[in-house]
Amino acid sequence: MKYREITLFSALKQRFADTQQQMMQFLTARDEAFLQKIDAEGHTNEYYLQGIIDHNMYHLGQMGAGAGHAEKIEKLFSPHL
C-alpha cells in the first residue's frame, strides 16, 4: 500500500472505531428497560440496535474488502485531491 492509501484506510478505521465508542458510551448509560421500550411501530430499541450492529458489520466488511483498493476508493470519493 502507498502512504496515501494507508492514511485514508487508517482514517476510515478510526472513524469507525470512534463511532463504536460513542455508541457504547450511549448504551452504557442506559438500562435494560431502554432496550425493551417499544415505539409506535411495535419495535423495541433492542430491535433497532441489532439493525445498527448488522449495518456496521456490513460496512466493516466493506472496509476490509476495500483495503486493497484504497487508491480507487479515494479517487471515487475525493476526485479533487
Q: What is the pTM of this model?
A: 0.64
> Whose CA is closest to 46, among 57, 37, 55, 54?
37
Cα angle 37, 42, 43; round to 5: 60
Query: Rounded CA gap, 17 and 29, in Å?
Result: 19
Residue pair 40/48 in contact by the 8 Å Cβ criterion: no
Fill in the amino acid letter for 64. G
Kindly tell me if the per-residue pLDDT of 2 is higher than 60.
no
Q: pLDDT by residue (tens digit) across 58-75?
A: 887 777 766 666 566 566
Q: pLDDT by residue (tens digit) across 3-49?
A: 555 677 778 788 888 988 999 999 999 999 999 999 999 999 999 99
Where do the H-state alpha helices sit in 1-81?
3-28, 32-36, 45-66, 70-77
